[in-house]
Structure 1
Amino acid sequence: MSRFPDLSTAVWRKSSYSDGGDNNCVEVADNYPGLVPVRDSKTPTGPALVITAPAWAAFVGFAAGH
């Protein structure tokens, strides 16, 4: 069994903090329990990072200054 989820059917959404541009965003995919797939919108067919949900929450909290 693979340790990485199949992202071929992932539905990606852009960060609410993006500057509104089409190619300057971080995108995440939902519906992967315990995991947060993350990619760069400039390279949608490129690699994605798959981060554990607790690590993502800690990153977002740090980035938000909390």
Structure 2
Amino acid sequence: MNPFISLLIYPGTLTAILSSVALYFFVKFFERLPSSYMSIIIISLVIIISVNVYRGIDFLFWLFDLPSNFHF
């Protein structure tokens, strides 16, 4: 299978793209809010993005057929 097609099919990539788009709109929308709200939103977005980065690393193991029991 073409790796670009499987990249689009893989759900972690799709959620990473959607979360980055959502991050842009969050930053644009919440620039007007006080800093306490902004810090809560940034912490929650960091958690979401770190989960997607872990899924992306998992995708690289799947793409290059590395042993799945190897973890960082």
TM-score for the superposition, normalised by structure 1: 0.29
TM-score for the superposition, normalised by structure 2: 0.27
Structure showing the higher helix proportion among its residues: 2
Structure showing the higher strand proportion among its residues: 1
Higher relative contact order (CA 8 A, sep 6+): 2
Q: Which has the higher Rg, Structure 1 or Structure 2?
A: 2
